[in-house]
């Protein structure tokens, strides 16, 4: 049974009420845990128990492996039990189990030791053994066991041998050998004196020689001949020449076997009992004999009396009260009062110490960073300039954010197309260009960006398995007889019949402007979409295959501008997708592209691209380790050279006194001296001084040359270090690109669990262009509201403090976002204020701030470049969404000049 914290896991038993329902209401619904057989009344109880079983805190009782869940530990025990029972000698099992039944032994180790000593020299019929014959070992099987009464009767053994040779099966024994009963506490020496194991004779059938590689080379032909003669013969041996394989019988294996087969109660002096199922299998008596029962009760009573005596001795024997004198009574009373006062003082001191410890625990300072919601701005922080309320991100700056879910589908579609652009053969484009392409509502000139996006997705979806006419079948099975935009299901399916049937084979050539992609799009939707995976199927197909009964030119421009003017209610005039797509609302276009990208994620090209990214990430990780090692080595070399370049005047000449001046002065001085001896001494001092100055000058020159060389080496190492740091920056950018091809994660979360996203530089997009020019994809930082799980955490926190009021104070009424709501920071000053608002004392805030700081140069550069690009747009372009202004050349728009440089040439 698996253990948890060193205690066996007890299975949950059905409640009395549930057992009563078995009689009164047998059809009542319950929750059944199949792996354990437990039954629960409610799903909450079932889920709680299953969660407990899934915790990695269980231990296999047999192997001792820890860190497993309950089911892994249970399977480990079963596997070990199967292995153990297959290895353990089968004839030995019933004999050992009968010997340990009803034994009162305190520790399992002692029980194993006693059993091992009893059985190590005793063998049973059918048991596989190793026999030593004149120094050569053979494997064999015990054929017959002769009890000690046959020890001196050779003729009786030989007569049985003649009878045995006439039959293929072993003859039944006259009496059972090795009857090991009684108390195992009896020493093995005393027990063996009653039934000596060395007086047993065994007939062993030799089966094969033991394979010992160390002796194989030294064998002679005679040895091999003797071995061949011994195989298949019956040998009469005693226990001194026999042994068991250590893989089948040892103290460790015996301990595991006994522990797996026996159990005992927790009461004092409880006997070891063989488990019921195992006892029935091996014929072990499960009914305790009366004599054994009395012996167990006697042992139990003795243990209880022994413990009682220990406690009585600990408390001390009862003393007989003596009659005390008045003086003795007074002294005794005084001692009792002093003892009571001392105990009272100790109690008060203990309570005071506990109170102080509790106060210290309450006032224990927080260790930062900590849980963000536990951090509140103090007056000191406010005086230091920390903002209480963050800048409110803009919701209106997000395109298509009027309807719930539309902007998120738009953003995720753009991210998929850019991240997997290399696998899709699609060049990158900015989010603004994608937005303008979605809003493009003119059929002349056509938008090449829309044509390329749909064409690449259509080519990709040709490799994804599909069911022919799945959309038609889904609409028919939906059995919705209501009219949608003036058409019923039959009318729509009839119109779909002849459009896009060969979409998986029709060529969409780049040179022809992807002509026919609209019909191929309808065919792709027909074979891939259903009402379940594309809820807007009927509306989208109706608007692609039918024109409004009364054309309204104002509607097209209003849809292109993103306004919500009422659309025509009836689409009853048959038309063609190529004519109807330009007037398709942006929300429907986004729904189509989002549906296609969700299908394309399962294509082989995307999966192959993900695997390539994984391989390149592994190579980058290894390269990063090597580059960091080089950086560390260069830094150490620079620190070693740096002391040699200090305190040396590299740019100044060494100034020394001219020796000629000294010599002239010395000569003049010498001519004025009255004594020649003084002249000689001065000349000698002058020569010494000149020699010293020459040595100093030479040492200075050598030191200056060495310093110049060290400085040159330092500059060289500094250049190498700069190259290494630039390579590390490139590795970080490449790592972000490749990681974006596998999974996209937010930069982090703020204190209220709002998720912060930055989508630039992922997948096929780059943060730097040629020449190190900054590039951008979105040029914004997006803010998404907390997830449902995080919202539940905030609700739980609401019980401790008013989180709603705090969010209102620190985020503002307009800054609070729901789980599916989005906003963005498009202005660099607002983003800087948001970064300053993050509190480094909070765990989420400090992590988010570190991520923003790490990529700040690229984030700020992208925002500046997007602002500069938007500033260059014509006034007519910035004033309204419409592209129909008089005198405005729409073909010069960035999204119209975009070309797909990665497109396949075919």
Dig out the tokens for 516 from the structure: 């026919």
Tell me the pLDDT tens digit for each residue of 92-139: 888 888 888 888 887 888 889 888 988 888 898 889 999 988 778 899
Tell me the pLDDT tens digit for each residue of 394-440: 999 899 998 889 999 999 999 999 999 999 999 999 999 999 999 99
Asked whether residue 624 carries a pLDDT value surpassing 90, the answer given is: yes
- Residue 755 sits at φ, ψ, to 5 deg, of -90, 130
Tell me the pLDDT tens digit for each residue of 156-201: 776 666 555 544 444 444 567 877 656 677 787 888 888 888 888 8
Contact 703, 648 (CB under 8 A): yes
Asked whether residue 884 carries a pLDDT value surpassing 50, the answer given is: no
Asked whether residue 527 carries a pLDDT value surpassing 90, the answer given is: yes
Contact 454, 426 (CB under 8 A): no
pLDDT of residue 613: 93
Q: Which residues pair with 58 in a beta bridge?
A: 4, 68
- Higher-pLDDT residue of 567 and 786 is 786
Contact 8, 63 (CB under 8 A): no
- Higher-pLDDT residue of 834 and 302 is 834
> Which residue in this structure is represented by tokens 């390149």?
616
> Which residue in this structure is represented by tokens 């396949």?
904
Cis check for the bond before 895: say yes or no (omega within 30 of 0): no
Q: How far apart are CA 232 and CA 245, in angstroms?
A: 20
How sure is the predictor about 662, in pLDDT bands with cuts at 50, 70 and 90? very low
Contact 73, 62 (CB under 8 A): no
Tell me the pLDDT tens digit for each residue of 667-676: 444 445 456 6
Question: Any residues with CB less than 8 A from the CB of 223 and at least 6 apart, and which?
Answer: 136
pLDDT of residue 387: 85
Asked whether residue 722 carries a pLDDT value surpassing 90, the answer given is: yes
How sure is the predictor about 332, in pLDDT bands with cuts at 50, 70 and 90? confident
Asked whether residue 31 carries a pLDDT value surpassing 70, the answer given is: yes
Q: How far apart are CA 651 and CA 634, in angstroms?
A: 27
Helix (H, G, I), strand (E, B) or coil at 32: strand
Asked whether residue 682 carries a pLDDT value surpassing 90, the answer given is: no
State the DSSP H helix or E strand holding residue 629, giving kind and residue range, or none if neither.
helix 604-641
Helix (H, G, I), strand (E, B) or coil at 135: coil
* Mean pLDDT across 375-395: 87
pLDDT of residue 877: 52
pLDDT of residue 183: 66
Q: How far apart are CA 68 and CA 512, in angstroms?
A: 62
Sequence length of the chain is 906
Maximum average pLDDT range among 357-371, 546-560, 737-751, 862-876 = 737-751
What torsion, rounded to 10 degrees, do the Cα atoms 183, 189, 190, 192 define? Answer: 90
- Residue 669 sits at φ, ψ, to 5 deg, of -65, -35
- Residue 532 sits at φ, ψ, to 5 deg, of -75, -45
Question: Residue 3: which of 95, 88, 66 has the closest Cα?
Answer: 66
Question: Residue 113: which of 25, 162, 181, 185 has the closest Cα?
Answer: 185
Per DSSP bridges, beta strands 201-209 and 234-237 are antiparallel
pLDDT of residue 312: 60
pTM: 0.57
Asked whether residue 863 carries a pLDDT value surpassing 70, the answer given is: yes
Tell me the pLDDT tens digit for each residue of 220-239: 666 677 777 778 888 888 99
Cα R_g (the chain), whole angstroms: 47
pLDDT of residue 164: 56
pLDDT of residue 748: 94
Query: Starting at the edge strand that comes first in sequence, how are the strands of the sheet with 242-243 ordered?
Result: 234-237, 201-209, 136-146, 128-133, 242-243
Asked whether residue 705 carries a pLDDT value surpassing 70, the answer given is: yes
Contact 399, 744 (CB under 8 A): no
pLDDT of residue 887: 54
Tell me the pLDDT tens digit for each residue of 266-292: 777 788 889 888 888 888 888 888 877
How sure is the predictor about 348, in pLDDT bands with cuts at 50, 70 and 90? confident
Measured at the CA of 611, the angle between CA 607 and CA 612, to 5 degrees, comes to: 115
> Which residue in this structure is represented by tokens 């001092």?
685
Asked whether residue 826 carries a pLDDT value surpassing 90, the answer given is: yes
pLDDT of residue 796: 86
pLDDT of residue 628: 93
The mean pLDDT of the chain is 83
Angle between the 43-54 and 70-87 helix axes, to the nearest 10 degrees?
Answer: 60
């Amino acid at each position: 049974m698996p253990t948890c914290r060193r205690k066996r896991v007890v299975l949950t038993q059905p409640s009395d009420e549930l057992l009563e329902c078995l009689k009164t209401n047998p059809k009542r619904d319950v929750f059944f845990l199949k792996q354990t057989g437990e039954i629960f009344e409610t799903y909450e109880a079932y889920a709680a128990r299953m969660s407990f079983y899934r915790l990695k805190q269980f231990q296999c009782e047999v192997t001792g492996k820890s860190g497993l869940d309950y089911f892994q530990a249970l399977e480990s025990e079963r596997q070990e039990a199967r292995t153990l029972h297959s290895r353990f000698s089968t004839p030995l099992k019933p004999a050992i189990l009968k010997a340990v039944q009803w034994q009162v032994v305190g520790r399992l180790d002692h029980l194993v030791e006693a059993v091992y000593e009893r059985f190590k020299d005793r063998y049973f019929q059918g048991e596989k053994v190793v026999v030593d014959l004149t120094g050569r070992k053979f494997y064999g099987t015990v054929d017959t066991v002769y009890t000690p009464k046959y020890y001196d009767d050779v003729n009786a053994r030989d007569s049985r041998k003649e009878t045995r040779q006439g039959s293929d099966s072993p003859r039944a024994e006259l009496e059972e050998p090795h009857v090991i009963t009684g108390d195992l506490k009896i020493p093995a020496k005393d027990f063996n004196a009653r039934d000596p194991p060395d007086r047993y004779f065994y007939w062993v059938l030799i089966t094969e020689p033991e394979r010992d590689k160390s002796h194989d080379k030294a064998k002679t032909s005679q040895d091999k001949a003797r071995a061949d003669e011994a195989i298949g013969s019956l040998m009469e041996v005693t226990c001194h020449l026999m042994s068991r394989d250590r893989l089948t019988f040892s103290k460790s294996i015996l301990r595991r076997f006994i522990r797996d087969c026996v159990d005992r109660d927790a009461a004092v002096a409880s006997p070891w009992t063989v488990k019921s199922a195992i006892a029935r299998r091996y014929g072990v008596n499960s009914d305790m004999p009366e004599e054994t029962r009395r012996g167990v009760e006697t042992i139990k009573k003795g243990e209880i009396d022994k413990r009682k005596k220990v406690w009585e001795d600990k408390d001390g024997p009862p003393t007989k009260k003596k009659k005390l004198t008045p003086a003795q009574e007074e002294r005794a009373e005084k001692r009792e009062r002093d003892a009571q006062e001392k105990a009272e003082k100790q109690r008060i001191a203990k309570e005071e110490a506990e109170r102080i410890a509790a106060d210290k625990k309450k006032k224990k300072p927080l260790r930062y960073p900590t849980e963000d919601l536990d951090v509140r701005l103090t007056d000191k922080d406010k005086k230091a300039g920390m903002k209480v309320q963050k800048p409110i991100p803009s919701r209106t700056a997000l395109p298509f954010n009027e309807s719930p879910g539309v902007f998120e589908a738009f953003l995720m579609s753009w991210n998929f197309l850019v991240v997997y652009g290399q696998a899709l053969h699609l060049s990158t484009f900015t989010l603004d260009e994608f937005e303008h392409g979605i809003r493009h509502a003119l059929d002349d000139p056509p938008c090449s960006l829309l044509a390329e996006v749909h064409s690449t997705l259509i080519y990709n979806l040709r490799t994804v398995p599909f069911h022919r006419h799945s959309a038609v079948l889904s609409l028919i099975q939906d059995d919705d007889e209501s009219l949608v935009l003036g058409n019923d299901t039959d009318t729509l399916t009839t119109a779909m019949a002849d459009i896009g049937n060969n979409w998986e084979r029709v060529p969409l050539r780049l040179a022809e402007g992807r002509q026919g992609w609209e019909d191929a799009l309808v065919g792709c939707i027909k074979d891939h979409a259903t009402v379940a995976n594309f809820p807007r199927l009927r509306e989208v197909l109706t608007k692609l295959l039918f024109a409004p009964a009364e054309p309204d030119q104002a509607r097209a421009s209003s849809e292109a501008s993103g306004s919500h003017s009422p659309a025509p209610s009836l689409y009853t005039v048959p038309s063609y997708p190529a004519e109807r797509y330009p007037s398709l609302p942006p929300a429907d276009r986004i729904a189509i592209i989002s549906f296609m990208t969700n299908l394309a994620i399962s294509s082989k090209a995307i999966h192959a691209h993900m695997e390539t990214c994984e391989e390149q990430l592994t190579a980058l990780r290894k390269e990063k380790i090597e580059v960091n090692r080089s950086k560390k080595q260069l830094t150490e070399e620079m620190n070693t050279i740096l002391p040699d370049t200090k305190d040396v005047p590299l740019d100044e000449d060494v100034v020394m006194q001219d020796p000629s001046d000294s010599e002239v002065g010395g000569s003049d001085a010498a001519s004025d001296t009255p004594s020649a001896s003084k002249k000689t001494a001065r000349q000698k001092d002058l020569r010494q001084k000149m020699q010293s100055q020459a040595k100093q000058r030479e040492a200075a020159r050598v030191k200056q040359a060495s310093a110049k060389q060290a400085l040159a080496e330092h500059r060289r190492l500094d250049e190498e270090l700069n190259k290494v740091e630039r390579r590390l920056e490139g590795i970080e950018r490449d790592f972000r690109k490749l990681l974006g091809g596998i999974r996209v994660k937010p930069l982090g979360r703020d204190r209220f669990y709002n998720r912060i996203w930055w989508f630039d530089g992922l997948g096929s997009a780059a943060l730097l262009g040629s020449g190190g020019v900054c590039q951008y994809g979105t040029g914004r930082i997006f803010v998404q509201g907390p997830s449902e799980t995080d919202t539940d955490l905030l609700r739980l926190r609401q019980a401790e403090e008013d989180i709603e009021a705090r969010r209102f104070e620190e985020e503002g009424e307009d800054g609070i976002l729901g789980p599916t709501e989005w906003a963005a920071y498009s202005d660099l000053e607002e983003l800087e204020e948001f970064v300053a608002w993050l509190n480094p004392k909070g765990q989420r805030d400090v992590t988010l701030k570190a991520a923003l700081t790490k990529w700040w140069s690229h984030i700020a550069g992208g925002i500046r470049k997007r602002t500069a690009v938007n500033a260059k747009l014509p006034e007519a372009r910035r004033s309204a969404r419409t592209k129909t202004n008089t005198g405005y050349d729409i073909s010069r728009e960035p999204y119209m000049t975009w070309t797909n440089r990665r497109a396949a040439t075919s």
